[in-house]
């Protein structure tokens, strides 16, 4: 019999809110988080907007000490973690009682730090580079720094599976609890906004506004969609086996019911048009949760406003849910957040929890005219009042990664 895994704390850093309450409030209002970029110069580029967290001052959240040698990814994750620990009622002195671990999903977390370190090495020579910058050049720096700051002595892992990294980090955290490696796990995700990653998506032609001359916009399932809005963010879910949560007498936001993953390689930077991986992942998640398609009250779609992916996901949902596919509410919060890559799944999971707690599904904004191939029951432009008990969260990317998470209300 598998363990019941409770969600007891939430922390979020996003372009539309830097704590869970402001985040949920913005989501339900349909607030858009992309705005002019301030972190780097875009004057010689055609795109100037992204989902940047502009109201972020790490000193106000984390204090002044110990921040001088931390990069943006790490401070974003540490901030989300601080919110989550406070939300979960965990005192810093007792964080490792019972044993606590951390798994963090991130893929580009060290790109900016590595680039700056190499630049300094080339300019002044490797013997004169500030050594305090070196730890930031490795991708496991955010998780490691979190463990150092909060004395987290249990399992420590960094998951770098691109678009699915946040949900895969939750999967790893669940496994640690189920196999008795920990009784509590911090399931985190983070991606930062920097010129290097922005230019990567820019040069690949993935960004909205590059392909039609229109202003950048994220409009999943809409006929006019032309690419993603690049974004950043961090999420933290505190997971505990149910007995541990009940012993502490803390608030339980919900339960992790099931998860499914399937790797479906097709071509570099191109989705499999048949959507075999996302179909199999949805089926595996339902089986793992011991649920049927009729038990799912809402789908939080991966949809990020790309031409191929939104159609593939629509077709995959039809394949798994059959006739119910036309009735089940579907929403895409990336219409507001943009595409935060490794952090997107975690931000979506926290959005789904807010939906269950408030009986309110956030809208897919900017959806004015459906693509004829996207013909399901999307929650358009205005939040939908409805009871939500079980939520499916989809995540997949063109390299072939596919992960689906199911969260339910605590019973």
Question: Within the chain, what is the greatest distance between any pair of CA atoms?
Answer: 65
Give residue 120's pLDDT.
73
Give residue 95's pLDDT.
82
Tell me the pLDDT tens digit for each residue of 164-223. 999 999 999 999 999 999 999 999 999 999 999 999 999 999 999 997 768 899 999 999
Range with the lowest mean pLDDT among 59-68, 234-243, 290-299? 59-68
DSSP state string for 44-59? TSS--EEB---S--HH
Domain 5-254 has CATH 3.40.47.10: yes
| Dist CA 408 CA 353 (whole Å) | 8
When pLDDT is cut at 50, 70 and 90, the band that residue 112 belongs to is confident
Give residue 400's pLDDT.
93
Place of tokens 């939500």: 388
Extents of the domains making up the chain:
5-254, 255-408
When pLDDT is cut at 50, 70 and 90, the band that residue 96 belongs to is confident
Give residue 121's pLDDT.
72
Tell me the pLDDT tens digit for each residue of 19-46. 999 999 999 999 999 999 999 999 999 9
**Overall average pLDDT of the 96-117 stretch:** 85
Cα–Cα nearest to 76, from 63, 96, 58, 64: 58
* 138 has pLDDT over 90: no
What does the mean pLDDT of the chain come to?
94
Give residue 265's pLDDT.
87
| Dist CA 238 CA 248 (whole Å) | 13
What CATH number belongs to 255-408? 3.40.47.10
Matching CATH topology for 5-254 and 255-408? yes
Q: Is the preceding omega at residue 98 within 30 degrees of 0, hence cis?
A: yes
| Dist CA 295 CA 290 (whole Å) | 10
Give residue 213's pLDDT.
66
């Amino acid at each position: 019999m598998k363990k019941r895994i409770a969600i007891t704390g939430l922390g979020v850093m996003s372009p539309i809110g830097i704590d869970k309450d402001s985040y949920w409030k913005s989501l339900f209002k349909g607030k858009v988080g992309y705005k002019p970029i301030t972190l780097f110069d875009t004057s010689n580029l055609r795109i100037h907007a992204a989902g940047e967290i502009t109201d972020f001052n790490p000193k106000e959240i984390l204090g002044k000490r110990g921040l001088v040698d931390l990069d943006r990814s790490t401070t974003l994750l540490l901030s989300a973690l601080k919110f989550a620990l406070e939300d979960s009622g965990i005192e810093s002195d007792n964080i490792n009682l019972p044993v606590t671990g951390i798994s963090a999903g991130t893929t580009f977390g060290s790109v900016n730090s590595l680039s700056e370190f190499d630049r300094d090495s080339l300019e002044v020579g490797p013997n004169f580079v500030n050594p305090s910058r070196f730890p930031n050049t490795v991708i496991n720096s955010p998780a490691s720094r979190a463990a150092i700051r909060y004395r987290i002595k249990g399992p420590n892992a960094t998951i770098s599976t691109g678009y699915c990294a946040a949900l895969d980090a939750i999967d790893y955290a669940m496994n640690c609890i189920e196999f008795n490696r920990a009784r509590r796990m911090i399931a985190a995700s983070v991606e930062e906004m920097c010129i290097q990653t922005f230019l990567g998506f820019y040069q690949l032609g993935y960004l909205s506004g590059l392909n039609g001359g229109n202003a950048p916009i994220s409009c999943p399932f809409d006929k006019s969609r032309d690419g993603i809005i690049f974004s950043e963010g961090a999420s933290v879910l505190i997971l505990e086996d149910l007995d541990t949560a009940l012993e502490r007498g803390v608030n339980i936001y919900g339960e992790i019911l099931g998860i499914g993953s399937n790797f479906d390689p097709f071509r570099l930077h191109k989705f499999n048009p048949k959507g075999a991986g996302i179909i199999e992942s949805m089926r595996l998640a339902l089986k793992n949760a011991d649920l049927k398609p009729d038990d799912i009250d809402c789908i939080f779609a991966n949809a990020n406003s790309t031409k191929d992916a939104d159609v593939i996901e629509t077709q995959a949902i039809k394949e798994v849910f059959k006739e119910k596919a036309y009735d089940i509410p579907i929403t895409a919060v990336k219409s507001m957040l943009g595409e935060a890559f490794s952090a997107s799944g975690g931000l979506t999971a926290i959005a789904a929890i807010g939906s269950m707690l408030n009986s309110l599904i956030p809208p897919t904004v900017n959806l004015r005219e459906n693509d004829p191939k996207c013909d399901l029951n999307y929650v358009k432009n205005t939040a939908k009042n409805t009871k939500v008990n079980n939520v499916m969260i989809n995540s997949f990317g063109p390299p072939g990664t596919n992960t689906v998470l199911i969260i339910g209300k605590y019973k």
